[in-house]
């Protein structure tokens, strides 16, 4: 089961963990991947349950990732997933599995198939500009959190 501190890792703690894992990956030349899922559509699809549903989905996903992985509820209707020691290919496989899991849960709640595309951003290190993408995320999200 993945790390989900107090049901949702605070964004600040998640950002610190991403930064630490990126430094570790650069130092030891190992892989790390970051996925940001945009689930802001939940507020439109389930107007009375959007924020609580995001917490429920984070908990569900947390039960289906490794214990070394992290998940956090980020602002702006996003879920952040950190996959230490995971290649981009591994992160792509995980993202497909996670989006299928989320679609399945939403379909159960909606009493029918939910076909909404879940937009995601992915960055991996070492990969083409992977460290820069992860660093950009850290900088951008830190700025967004301050505003």
Residue 85, exposed/middle/buried by CB under 10 A (0-12, 13-18, 19+)?
A: middle
Q: Per-residue pLDDT for 49 more than 90?
A: no
Q: Per-residue pLDDT for 3 more than 60?
A: no
More confident site: 127 or 35: 35
* Overall number of domains in the chain: 1
Closest CA to 105 of 147, 50, 57: 57
pTM value is 0.85
**What range does the domain containing 25 cover?**
5-146
Q: What is the CATH number of the domain that holds 129?
A: 3.30.70.270
Residues 70-105: pLDDT tens digits?
Answer: 999 987 789 999 999 999 999 999 999 999 999 999
Give the rounded distance of the alpha carbon of 63 from its chain centre: 13
More confident site: 37 or 46: 37
pLDDT band at 50 (very low <50, low <70, confident <90, very high): low
Q: Per-residue pLDDT for 142 more than 70?
A: no
More confident site: 53 or 115: 53
């Amino acid at each position: 089961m993945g790390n989900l501190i107090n049901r949702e890792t605070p964004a600040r703690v998640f950002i610190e963990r991403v930064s630490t894992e990126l430094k570790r990956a650069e130092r030891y030349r190992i892989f790390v991947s970051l996925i940001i899922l945009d689930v802001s559509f939940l507020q439109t699809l389930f107007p009375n349950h959007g924020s609580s549903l995001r917490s429920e989905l984070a908990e569900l996903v947390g039960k289906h990732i490794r214990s070394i992985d992290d998940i956090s509820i980020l602002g702006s209707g996003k879920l952040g997933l950190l996959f230490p020691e995971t290649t981009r290919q591994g992160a792509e496989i995980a993202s497909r599995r996670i989006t299928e899991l989320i679609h399945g849960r939403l379909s159960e709640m909606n009493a029918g198939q939910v076909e909404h595309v879940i937009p995601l951003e992915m960055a991996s290190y070492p990969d083409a500009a992977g460290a820069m993408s992860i660093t950009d995320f850290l900088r951008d999200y830190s700025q967004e959190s301050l505003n």
